[in-house]
């Protein structure tokens, strides 16, 4: 489960949009696009969906493992992880909802490594008693800690387990020091009674944005804002359809890709 450990270490664990299987696969495929080993011009979303049509990747136990096979032999197994607290109707053989989706990029030379990783993942789920702790987790930090427990349970008393423990310790220390919720910049004046809605925007190129928002009204408002990309790139507060948007932070990836952490401040009564 080394690629899962690496994904956790590098911040590739996300809460999936509550919009069904296709949207979840599209989101994780865009994260996979950040991998510099992927051949330029590869349509990751199309490749993932094509393989999914050939064979459903729900392995049961509340987990899906969609993947794309690389056009080259060299490279490392690469994973992006999505968590769905509500569960996704995935079409798995056991007809259970999927709460964890691990999407893989598989170079030719890593086929056996991938199969071994899936076997280890199944072993970890069964050893821990099932997917329910992750299905009922309250936030991504809790999911991350549970996944690290899985990694530690199957890697044994070797180097990787020590790494998992070190990461977990670092996570717990960070959580203890962090505030309960993201704080807004001090310069932002929040009106009494204003509703704060956190959301994310994944930018995969000029004018190509994927908005991830829990509120459908917020989602519709943002998706029709033609200037959203330039506003996000500025990193400052701005107005969208009369509502104040705050850019809390951004993670930048290769290929001009970026994941923005934002918040919408809705005026009282809206």
Per CATH, the homologous superfamily of domain 2-177 is Mannitol-specific EII; Chain A (3.40.930.10)
pLDDT for the residue numbered 122: 92
Q: What is the pLDDT along the chain (270 residues), one digit of tens a residue?
A: 788 988 888 888 998 877 789 989 988 988 887 777 777 778 888 889 888 988 899 999 999 999 998 888 888 899 999 999 999 999 888 889 999 999 999 998 999 999 999 999 999 999 888 999 999 999 888 898 899 888 877 765 445 555 555 555 555 554 554 444 444 444 444 444 456 677 888 887 777 888 887 777 778 888 888 888 888 888 777 888 778 887 877 888 777 788 888 877 765 554
Other residues' Cβ atoms within 10 Å of the Cβ of residue 161: 17
Task: List the helix and strand counts (H, then E) for the chain.
Answer: 9, 11
pLDDT for the residue numbered 169: 52
Other residues' Cβ atoms within 10 Å of the Cβ of residue 14: 21
Place of tokens 């809460």: 15
Bridge partners (DSSP) of residue 83 are: 15, 100
Other residues' Cβ atoms within 10 Å of the Cβ of residue 56: 15
32: Cα separation from own chain's centroid: 10
Bridge partners (DSSP) of residue 209 are: 203
- How are the residues of the chain apportioned to helix, strand and coil, as percentages rounded to the nearest 5? 40, 25, 35
Could you tell me if 74 and 26 are in contact, meaning their C-beta atoms sit under 8 angstroms apart?
no
What is the rounded CA–CA span in Å between residue 8 and residue 10?
5
The number of C-alpha atoms within 13 Å of 197 and in the hemisphere containing its C-beta is 22
Could you tell me if 102 and 147 are in contact, meaning their C-beta atoms sit under 8 angstroms apart?
no
Q: What is the pTM of this model?
A: 0.64
Place of tokens 């989101």: 27
Could you tell me if 115 and 121 are in contact, meaning their C-beta atoms sit under 8 angstroms apart?
no
pLDDT for the residue numbered 128: 86
Radius of gyration of the chain (CA): 19
pLDDT for the residue numbered 108: 87
Residue boundaries of the structural domains of the chain: 2-177, 195-266
List helix spans (H) across the chain.
2-9, 21-32, 44-54, 111-128, 132-135, 140-155, 159-177, 216-223, 228-234
What is the rounded CA–CA span in Å between residue 212 and residue 184?
19
Each residue of 90-144: pLDDT tens digit?
988 888 999 999 999 999 899 999 999 999 999 999 988 899 999 999 988 889 8
């Amino acid at each position: 489960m080394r690629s899962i450990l690496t994904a956790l270490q590098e911040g590739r664990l996300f809460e999936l949009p509550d919009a069904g299987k296709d949207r979840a696969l599209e989101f994780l495929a865009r994260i996979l696009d950040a991998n510099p080993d992927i051949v330029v011009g590869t349509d990751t979303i199309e490749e993932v969906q094509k393989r999914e049509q050939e064979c459903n990747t729900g392995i049961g136990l509340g987990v899906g493992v969609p993947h794309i096979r690389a056009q080259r032999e060299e490279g490392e197994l690469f994973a992006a992880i999505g968590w769905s607290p509500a569960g996704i109707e995935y079409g798995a053989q056991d007809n259970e909802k999927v709460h964890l989706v691990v999407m893989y990029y598989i170079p030719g030379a890593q086929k056996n490594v991938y199969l071994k990783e899936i076997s280890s993942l199944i072993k970890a789920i069964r050893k821990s008693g099932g997917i329910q702790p992750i299905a009922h987790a309250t936030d991504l930090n809790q999911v991350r800690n549970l996944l690290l427990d899985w990694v530690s349970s199957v890697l044994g008393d070797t180097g990787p387990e020590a790494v998992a423990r070190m990461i977990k310790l670092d996570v717990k220390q960070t959580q203890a020091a962090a505030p309960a919720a993201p704080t807004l910049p001090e310069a932002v004046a929040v009106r009494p009674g204003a509703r704060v809605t956190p959301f994310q925007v994944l930018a995969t190129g000029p004018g190509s944005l994927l908005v991830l928002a829990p509120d459908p009204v917020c989602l519709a408002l943002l998706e029709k804002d033609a200037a959203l990309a330039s506003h996000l790139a500025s990193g400052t507060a701005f107005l969208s359809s009369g509502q104040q948007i705050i850019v809390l932070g951004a993670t930048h990836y290769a290929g001009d890709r970026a994941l923005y952490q934002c918040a919408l401040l809705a005026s009282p009564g809206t």
